[in-house]
């Protein structure tokens, strides 16, 4: 296995199983758009930004360089909507 700046070059014969954990990727974010995982499976379902990253995104948005974050978290579904009538104890 050879580690190169553009990613890892692995021969199929070298390994039997491969676990790809995007949270442990050294270039996550920077290289996601042209990673085979993102191309085949879509982007990872969540991102986690630390306080410095959030401030940087806010500063870029304030300067008009990037759009503001548009995400609106989903509310917890009501149990009766999903047919689950159990109530917490």
Asked if residue 29 belongs to a domain, the reply is yes
Determine contact, residues 1/14, Cβ cutoff 8 Å: yes
Q: What is the total count of domains within the chain?
A: 1
Distance CA 76, CA 89 (A): 17
pLDDT tens profile 22-77: 777 887 777 777 787 877 777 766 667 788 888 888 898 889 887 776 665 556 55
pLDDT digits (tens, 9 = 90+) for 58-71: 898 889 887 776 66
Residue 85 lies in a domain: no
Domain of 43, in residue numbers:
2-62
Pair of tokens at residue 6? 């553009």
Is residue 73, in this structure, part of any structural domain at all? no
Sign of the Cα torsion 36, 24, 33, 69 reads: positive
User: Using CA atoms, how far apart are residues 59 and 70, in angstroms rounded to an integer?
Assistant: 15
């Amino acid at each position: 296995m050879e580690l190169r700046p553009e990613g890892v070059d692995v021969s199929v014969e070298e390994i039997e199983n491969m676990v790809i954990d995007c949270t442990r990727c050294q270039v996550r974010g920077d290289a996601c758009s042209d990673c085979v995982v993102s191309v085949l499976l879509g982007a990872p379902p969540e991102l986690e930004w630390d306080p410095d990253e959030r401030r940087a995104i806010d500063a870029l948005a304030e300067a008009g360089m990037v759009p503001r974050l548009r995400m609106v978290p989903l509310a917890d579904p009501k149990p009766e909507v999903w047919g689950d009538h159990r109530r917490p104890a």
